[in-house]
Amino acid sequence: MPNEVEFGYFRSHNDFCSMGDDYLLGVEFAESITDLDYGCSEGLAASVSDSQMQSAGSDTRWKSSLFQIKQVLDCQKDQLDMGSSESDIPSCNKSEMLVEENPSISPGSCTVQNIGKTHNSPSCSSQDILSDGNDGEHSPSDEMFCSPMTQKNDETEVTGQDGETNIFPRQEALTTSVQANCTDLPMQKRSRKPTQRYADELTSVQANCTGRPTQKRSRKPTQRYVDELADPIPAYSRKRREVSTSTLKDKSLGVKDHKKCHVASRATQLPAEESSVIAIQVPFGSLVHKECPKGRTCDLVQHVDTRNLMTKSKGKCVTPNKKKKRDECISAVHPKKRDDCAASKTKRDDQFTVAHSKKSSDRISLASQKKKDDCIIAMTPKKRGDCLTGAHQKKRDDCTIPERPEEVSGRRKHHRLWTITEVRKLIDGVSQYGVGRWSRIKKLFFSTSAHRTSVDLKDKWRNLLKASGILDQGRQGEKKRNMAWRPLPKSILLRVCELATIYPYPKGQRPKIPLIHHDSPDRSTDITLSDYRRILRSINGS
DNA sequence: TTTAGGG
DNA sequence: CCCTAAA
């Protein structure tokens, strides 16, 4: 019912007004009117027209003017009751008065009490609107609220209404303030007949009102704007939820996922490398589902929504101790950050937080990187938003890129594809330090690639050996994995072979190649040193 | 903490 | 890439 709507509206806005925020007051009020049934605002507008409302230039002004008008009406009635009779009505409708927003004025100040006291005043129509309309035959408030009663604007037609239509449980303080405010207004008038100017303005306002409907509806976004102003965090989370494709999925994201996202985001700082870099990266979501059953889950939504309250969710994201190892490996690049966020849930999350607080500027740069496509595809919704806001950035080299905050990308730790550049660096490292000195290689060759841990280097080397056919693979079953999806350059494979002969893997063990050579008389499928050299010769020759 | 190795 | 045991 309109009355109920009105009631709730006023109450809520009394709360708003208590904040004393001028802006909120004005805009919110206007918004509320918009939220109400259209007929209601129409009726309000119509009633306002009685009081010679001066149409404002903008919608906001116009709507706030509605409110102001009602105040004016109240004031007028007060004045009438007080028997004051001096100035004319128009003085009460001064434009500045109508438009200007007074912090002390609240929507709730549109009391019906005062209105009810008046009789034969042009403001009676507004009274109709505000009142229950239980008595006036000309002003059934329901009609007024629900239908544009333009004919009601004929102020002469409307007679005084009883004042017991207090449908708005107003806050007395507000009412008082409004009344006081009204008394300050330079308007004093007696009951009078509508002046010519009055009628003219009425007409204009009516026309104005009729033209409003669509605009009123279209002003909805302002509410959002206000909300965001008032409460940025909910807006943030809302935004995140908007983009979120699968809430369930997001909710199931765990710490692990965060970690991975964070690390993966660093991928964006990787330079656009060789063509092979443009590899098919596994979409974020598919991996997420894989991760979910593992149980290390935490409510991502909550995590995001309360990222300023990170400590709260700490308990929910219990990370296995072992997990920390790698986390530390990665976060070791930011020792200071971890210190800053010692209370946070996990170290990854720490980085997440810190990234927000300290490295937000870095986010700007990721958008135009070559890998951003991957990034955008895989990023979590919010991160995607961040990424999209990124500015242009010129291509940078791996090592020169300062580490990017992980949150930029939704990519997880896993499936950060190795680029050719990285592989080359790894090969260089192995050639320099040999196999097994992963931590050293990492320090010297991947110092800027925090996402590559020594374990990663080791794994990659092992995979390279597999790819080169050096390492024994497929012990069980013939099921050879198809490595052709991302073929490595021959030069790299050869290099790996070369190094494998020099630095057998694993370290300290005898090279597998000779081993294979000895154990299997049939060398047709195994690469031996002689095979390797022959291949190398042929390649070099060609 | 690093490395190796299974998965 | 993860996980874990062992060094």
Tens-place pLDDT, residues A19-51: 333 333 333 333 333 333 333 333 333 333 333
CA A268 from centroid of its chain's CA atoms: 20
Q: What mean pLDDT is predicted for residues A250-270?
A: 35
What is the nearest nucleotide to A323, using C1' and CA?
Answer: C3
Q: How confident is the model at residue A507 (pLDDT cuts 50, 70, 90)?
A: low
pLDDT surpasses 80 at A494: yes
**Percentage above 70 pLDDT, chain A:** 14
Q: Is residue A11 predicted with pLDDT exceeding 70? A: no
Q: Name the E strands within A225-279.
A: none
- Three-state secondary structure readout of A153-199: HCHHHCCCCCCCCCCCCCCHHHHHHHHHHHHHCCCCCCCCCCCHHHH
Residue A424 confidence (pLDDT) above 50? yes
Strand B nucleotides, any atom under 7 Å from protein beta carbons: they are 1-7
Contact A251, A301 (CB under 8 A): yes
Range among A239-248, A292-301, A471-480 with highest mean pLDDT value: A471-480
What mean pLDDT value characterizes chain A?
A: 44
Q: What is the pLDDT of residue A539?
A: 60
Contact present, A179 and A114 (Cβ < 8 Å): yes
The average pLDDT across A280-303 equals 35
| Dihedral (CA of A200, A205, A208, A209) sign | negative
Instruction: Specify the pLDDT at position A473.
Output: 54
pTM of the model: 0.31
Say if residue A210's pLDDT is above 70: no
CA geometry: angle A134, A73, A78, nearest 5 deg: 95
Half-sphere exposure for A344 (CA within 13 Å, toward CB): 22
pLDDT at residue number A242: 33
**pLDDT at site A490:** 81
Q: Please, which pLDDT band fits residue A413 given cuts at 50, 70 and 90? A: low
Give which of A35, A12, A29 is closest to A70, Cα–Cα: A29
> Distance (Å, rounded) from C-alpha A253 to C-alpha A240?
14
**What is the spatial distance, in angstroms and rounded to an integer, between the CA atom of A323 and the C1' atom of C3?**
9
Identify which has the larger pLDDT, A12 or A433.
A433
Q: What is the pLDDT of residue A501?
A: 79
Structure tokens at A540: 């070099």
For position A417, what pLDDT does the model report?
81
A446 touches strand C (CB under 7 A): no
C1’ B7 / CA A475, Å: 13
- The reply to whether A296 Cβ lies less than 7 angstroms from strand C is yes
Q: From the Cβ of A120, is strand C under 7 Å away? A: no
Contact flag, residue A314 CB and nucleic strand C, below 7 A: no
Report chain C positions within 7 A of protein CB atoms: 1-4
Give the angle subtended at the CA of A322 by the CAs of A318 and A327, to the nearest 5°: 80
Closest C1' nucleotide to A412's CA:
C1
Ranges A2-11, A70-79, A146-155, A530-539, most confident: A530-539
Can you tell me the mean pLDDT for A150-155?
Answer: 34
Is pLDDT above 50 for A446?
Answer: yes
Q: Which nucleotide is nearest to A441 (CA to C1')?
A: B2
What is the C-alpha to C-alpha distance for residues A511 and A155, in angstroms, rounded to an integer? 103
When pLDDT is cut at 50, 70 and 90, the band that residue A447 belongs to is confident
* Residue A507 or A410, more confident: A507
Nucleotide B1's nearest residue (CA vs C1') is A325
Tens-digit pLDDT profile for residues A82-91: 433 333 333 3
